[in-house]
């Protein structure tokens, strides 16, 4: 399968924290979950891929001419704009005609079931509504790579599960590659094709989801993967773990 993102010898120093070195290939169309605790460097890695930093070492090769889209943990919605204006902002920056922007916004908002919110403002929205609005604003420019920074962390379980289905739908309908940052293994296992464990700025392990329980991992890694035999709250089945 073709790589859409190749990272080679990537390092970034921010204060006393060092991210990397990172060597990683992301396949086109896959959902890759970056799993780790708070302070592991997950958001920094995503921001680096998004182009927020220039003073890094190594290579970030993106095999796509389409833009990279990012949904931030705190959404970054423009408070002075309505939901409709927020979603259409990327097309406005491209000088698209107002009528066409309106059509695209309506089509996407209907897909994400937020048509009833278009005239509202961000300060009146729930967490799930803000998340869908931020997702729509990113998707409207048709990115081939979508970066999601802890998109479900402040949401209740019911809203999370609804948004999980949104992400699955987006992956299938938009044919985009998704990098998802999370501290929740169950979330990563449910959504991802491949999972990378990031700790103290370094990837300790990268594995296809189906192969996680076929291997013996060092204890440091098994703590991220270590769950009980049976099913979790999302209905994912697991086997006994072997810890070395």
Q: Please name the residues in contact with 235: beta carbons below 8 A apart, sequence gap of 6 or more.
A: none
Token duo for residue 227: 């769950």
Q: What is the pLDDT of residue 226?
A: 60
Q: What is the pLDDT of residue 237?
A: 53
Q: Give the CA distances from residue 105 to residues 27, 35, 56, 85, in Å, rounded to whole numbers and listed in that order.
A: 29, 32, 36, 9
Top-level CATH class of 3-232?
A: alpha beta
d(CA 29, CA 154) in angstroms, rounded, equals 27
CB atoms near residue 218 (< 10 Å): 11
pTM of structure:
0.87
**Residue indicated by tokens 């309106």:** 102
Beta strand extents in the chain (DSSP E only): 3-14, 17-27, 31-35, 57-62, 68-71, 145-149, 177-182, 194-199, 202-208, 230-231, 237-238
- For 132-161, the pLDDT digits (tens) are 999 999 999 999 999 999 988 878 888 888
Q: What is the pLDDT of residue 114?
A: 95
Q: Please identify every stretch of the chain with a pLDDT value under 70, giving residue numbers as ranges.
A: 1, 225-244
């Amino acid at each position: 399968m073709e790589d859409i993102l190749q990272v080679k010898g990537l390092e970034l120093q921010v204060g006393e924290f060092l991210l990397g070195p990172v060597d990683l290939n992301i396949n086109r169309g896959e959902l890759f979950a970056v799993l780790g605790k708070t302070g592991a460097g997950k958001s920094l890695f995503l921001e680096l891929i998004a182009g927020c930093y220039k003073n890094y070492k190594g290579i970030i090769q993106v095999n796509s001419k389409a833009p990279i889209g990012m949904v931030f943990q705190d959404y970054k919605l423009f408070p002075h704009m309505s939901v409709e204006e927020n979603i259409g902002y990327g097309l406005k920056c491209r000088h698209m005609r107002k009528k066409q922007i309106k059509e695209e916004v309506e089509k996407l908002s209907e897909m994400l079931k937020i048509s009833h919110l278009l005239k509202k403002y961000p300060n009146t929205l729930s967490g799930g509504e803000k998340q869908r609005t931020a997702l729509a604003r990113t998707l409207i420019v048709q990115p081939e790579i979508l970066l999601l920074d802890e998109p479900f962390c402040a949401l209740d379980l019911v809203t999370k599960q609804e948004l999980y289905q949104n992400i699955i739908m987006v992956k299938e309908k938009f044919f985009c590659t998704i990098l998802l940052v999370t501290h929740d293994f169950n979330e990563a296992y449910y959504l991802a094709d491949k999972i990378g464990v990031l700790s103290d700025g370094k990837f300790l392990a990268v594995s296809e989801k189906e192969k996680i329980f076929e291997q013996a991992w060092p204890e440091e890694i098994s703590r991220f993967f270590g769950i009980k035999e049976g099913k979790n709250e999302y209905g994912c089945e697991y086997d006994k773990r072997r810890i070395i």
